[in-house]
Amino acid sequence: MTLFSKIINGDIPSDKVYEDQECYAFRDINPQAPVHILVVPRKEIPNVGAAGKDEKMLLGHLLSTAAEIAASQGLADSGYRLVINTGADGGQTVDHLHIHILGGRPMAWPPG
């Protein structure tokens, strides 16, 4: 079981922001911005590249849910960044697909 599955099932406590049948969202333990939330599918998909053809609906749901959560956090007007780190060069440290919602400050480009 992944770290994020343990968070989703309550074995590890989390600061929940949102949940539905497909996904669970909670605040990052090491926030990189005033708002830093992770949106995680309940299904243990290791990364976005590992998502199958039958998971396209789920990927869309995660993206639209992330936008809804960002809006619920008051970020719609100021803007925000959605990030999906993938693999070693992508900086992924937890092998359970997740979208980072980052907001509340201007984001630099290019990213580090």
Point out which residues bind ligand 5GP (CB under 6 A). Answer: 3, 7, 12, 14, 26, 28-30, 38, 85, 91-94
Closest CB to ligand 5GP among residues 53, 93 = 93
Q: How far is the CB of 100 from ligand 5GP (least distance, A)?
A: 6
Q: Is 98 a catalytic residue?
A: yes
| SS3 annotation, the chain | CCHHHHHHCCCCCCCEEEECCCEEEEECCCCCCCEEEEEEECCCCCCHHHCCHHHHHHHHHHHHHHHHHHHHCCCCCCCEEEECCCHHHHCCCCCCCCEEEEECCCCCCCCC
Q: How far is the CB of 90 from ligand 5GP (least distance, A)?
A: 8
Q: How far is the CB of 101 from ligand 5GP (least distance, A)?
A: 11
Q: Which of 36, 61, 96, 98 is catalytic?
A: 98
Please identify every residue annotated as catalytic. Answer: 98
